[in-house]
Amino acid sequence: MENKPVLNRREVKRQKTAKTMKGAAARIVIMTAALLIASLAVLGINRLTDYIHEKNYRALSDEEIAYALVRGEEKEAENADASSGKRLELARAACSIVGKVSYFWGGKSSAAGVDPAWGELREVTSSGSESSGQVRPYGLDCSGFVSWAFIQLGYDFSEMETLLGNGTWNQWDRSADIAYNDIRVGDVAFMNRYPTDQGNHIGICIGFLENGEPVFAHCSSSYDNVVVTTRGTALNYARRLNIFN
């Protein structure tokens, strides 16, 4: 049987000190990593908060959306015309996927109802976005959302190419300026006026708040989903799509 070496007190103390220091170092590494992760999470939240604050719009609750839809129906009833039915149907279609579809740059859909492709991990192949080249859950972009909502009214995808077009530029080109005070359910609003090199965004008016303020359904990159929000400074230019004329 091999005899274990006898350690003197100084060596025992040294080994205990080394073990304690290793444990302390490990705890410091763990704490540093935790703080770094927390900081990155806060940074992400702050960026989202800063973006939303910059655009100054607010997402509505389910109760507020329901109220806005009712107010929209009431206002359409006051000034009903041949387009009123389709306008209200469009608003209901737009609201049917609130909170259910991720934002995907270049995302389009010809589906009547829920597209089974939504949620599948796909590469963002369209250029021009920070997300280009990334793999993300498939969904819609802002103009794709508008096209999808109209498809729910019975239009097919090929008709959308002609009547509405793909992309915010085509949708701007197939619409006309209106005053914000004249906006109706089914009208749209854009972030920027064309021509622009700043990019653009589009939302559909689905109804009104109690104070008469219009609210919009749109597929928002900042919320990474379909939301209904106030106008803020993100939806500045009211337009009436030619499809309603």
The predicted pLDDT at position 96 comes to: 98
Q: What is the pTM of this model?
A: 0.78
Using DSSP's 3-state secondary structure scheme, residue 221 falls into: coil
Q: Residues 46-56: pLDDT tens digits?
A: 334 334 445 67
β-strand partners of 240: 176
Q: d(Cα 206, Cα 71) in Å, to the nearest integer?
A: 9
The predicted pLDDT at position 22 comes to: 54
pLDDT at 35 over 80: no
Q: d(Cα 142, Cα 155) in Å, to the nearest integer?
A: 18
Q: Please say whether the dihedral angle defined by the alpha carbons of residues 105, 108, 114 and 117, taken in this order, is positive or negative.
A: negative
| Confidence bin at 39 (pLDDT 50/70/90) | very low
Using DSSP's 3-state secondary structure scheme, residue 103 falls into: strand
The predicted pLDDT at position 153 comes to: 95
Quote the DSSP letter at residue 4: P
Contact between 178 and 239 under an 8 Å Cβ cutoff? The reply is: yes
Phi, psi values for residue 179, rounded to 5°: -75, 145
**What are the residue boundaries of the structural domains of the chain, listed by start?**
1-55, 59-244
What torsion do the CA atoms of 81, 83, 86, 89 make, to the nearest 10 degrees? -40
Mean pLDDT of 108-124: 97
What is the second-level CATH architecture of the domain 59-244? Alpha-Beta Complex (3.90)
Where helices occur in the chain by DSSP H, the ranges are 9-55, 62-78, 84-95, 142-151, 157-163, 168-173
Kindly report whether the peptide bond that precedes residue 214 is cis, defined as omega within 30 degrees of 0. no
Looking at residue 66, its amino acid is A
Q: Residues 142-181: pLDDT tens digits?
A: 999 999 999 999 998 888 888 998 899 999 999 999 999 9
pLDDT at 89 over 80: yes
Looking at residue 239, its amino acid is R
Contact between 151 and 160 under an 8 Å Cβ cutoff? The reply is: yes
The predicted pLDDT at position 241 comes to: 97
Arithmetic mean of pLDDT over the chain: 84
The predicted pLDDT at position 234 comes to: 86
pLDDT at 31 over 90: no
pLDDT at 10 over 80: no
